[in-house]
Amino acid sequence: MEPYVADQLGRPLKDLRISVIDQCNFRCTYCMPAEIFGPDYAFLPEDQLLSFDEIIRLVKVFAKFGVEKIRLTGGEPLMRKNLDDLIRRIREVDGIKDIAVTTNAVFLVRQAKKLKEAGLDRVNISLDAIEDEVFQETNGRGVKIKPVLKGIEAARDAGLPIKVNMVVKKGMNESQILPMARYFKDTGDTLRFIEFMEVGNHNGWNMDAVVPKKKIIDQIHEEMPLIPLDANYYGEVASRYRYKDGEGEIGVISSVTEAFCSSCTRARLSADGQLFTCLFASSGYDLRECLRSDYSEEQITEYLIAIWTGRSDQYSIDRAKGKPMKENKIEMSYIGG
Ligand code: SAM
Ligand code: SF4
Ligand code: SF4
């Protein structure tokens, strides 16, 4: 029998996001601005990353806790060598029902088929524009749309369900809301808009740069009428809509203007094994040290119970109430989005 462990606000732990690498082939301006993450930036050396054996040991403990969903992220997770081996091994863990990867899609052309064969259930693909000039600016590396669209095509050919995620930031890509909606409407892929968040310390976040959910929906609804849908499951972060003409679905992740902390069942594990109970935490819990000090499974379980039962994070709600923001927040590329 798995222990039912709820945090201080009654939330169980259901969803674990694992960053498998902190490096990335992009430098998105809202995530890894090139002036900070330049050639001198010190990424984690390989021996500091959790090994696949270590990740699997932890996944087994989390699964006993009630975690059913694993999302592999980064950095760019497809840059981690032999990711398909990790997926194959996670697939074998009792209790894990869903494995997803969040990626910028560029390496999917080479990897989609083998990831699917290893047991991957679906992909979340990040794409912030459908016009080259905007996209090249946004990804900070001058990459054009084509390699991403090819990656999406490869995922489709491999039979992987796709969600396309677009971070919307005023002054960066709000011009792309309608073109993206038009482009993905008939593809069968779900397009999700994400409000620009103040993760990390370097992305220059302020409330004026957030395009609120209502503005996004109103704009699309005016041209292509929408009907709201119910959530698929407890804790789903996106508000869902379908087009009135029956073709296609979109979602909006309104992390800033409509906080969803009250149903937040997620924990995040960084590539070097720090566990974070909130995206906006400034420190984590060192599970790598537990693994490398030969803690038994029981000891790690006890530690996790102590961490989760002590959790009271509700950062986005606190921010909306006007509480001051923390300094030294963890970077998104490190903690995994
Ligand atoms: N490199 C992969 C990718 O881009 O899909 C995975 C890691 S990335 C950190 C995960 C997600 O975080 C992406 O969908 C990205 O758009 C999102 N993200 C990064 N910085 C963000 C920010 N400041 N506000 C909102 N979402 C952000
Ligand atoms: Fe890389 Fe993803 Fe961050 Fe863009 S959002 S810089 S692709 S980790
Ligand atoms: Fe969860 Fe923290 Fe985001 Fe709230 S702010 S939804 S607690 S990760």
Alpha-carbon distance 200 to 169, whole Å? 16
Whether 27 has a binding-site annotation, put simply, is no
State if residue 139 touches ligand 1 by the CB under 6 angstroms criterion.
no
The two structure tokens encoding residue 39: 């050639």
Which ligand 3 atom is the nearest neighbour of the CA of 237? 6
> Which three-class secondary structure state does DSSP give residue 296?
coil
Structure token digits, residue 71: 């999302």
Place 318 in a pLDDT band, splitting at 50, 70 and 90: confident
Please report which ligand is nearest the Cα atom of 140: 2
198 lines ligand 3 (CB under 6 A): no
Chain mean pLDDT for the chain: 93
Pocket test for ligand 2, best of 25, 37, 101, 126 (most atoms within 8 A of CB): 126
Quickly list DSSP for 201-261: SSS---GGGB--HHHHHHHHHHHS-EEEE--SSTT--SEEEEETTS--EEEEE-TTTS--G
State the pTM of this model: 0.95
Can you give the pLDDT at residue 72?
98
The stretch 58-77 carries a mean pLDDT of 96
- Judge whether 195 and 254 are in contact, CB under 8 Å: yes
Dist CA 265 CA 44 (whole Å):
28
pLDDT band for 2, please (50, 70, 90 cuts). Answer: low
pLDDT digits (tens, 9 = 90+) for 79-114: 999 999 999 999 999 999 999 999 999 999 999 999
Please tell me the CATH code under which domain 3-162+262-335 is placed: 3.20.20.70
> Residue ranges of the domains in the chain?
3-162+262-335
pLDDT of residue 3: 58
Would you say residue 51 has pLDDT above 90?
yes
Contact 224, 242 (CB under 8 A): no
pLDDT above 80 for 200: no
Per-residue pLDDT tens over the stretch 124-145: 999 999 999 999 999 999 999 9
Ligand 2 centroid distance, CA of 226 (Å): 30
Percent of the chain with pLDDT over 70: 97
116 is in an annotated binding site: no
Residue 314 Cβ inside 6 Å of ligand 3? The answer reads: yes
Residue of 239, 314, 318, 329 best suited for mutating to test ligand 3, as the one with most atoms within 8 Å of CB = 314
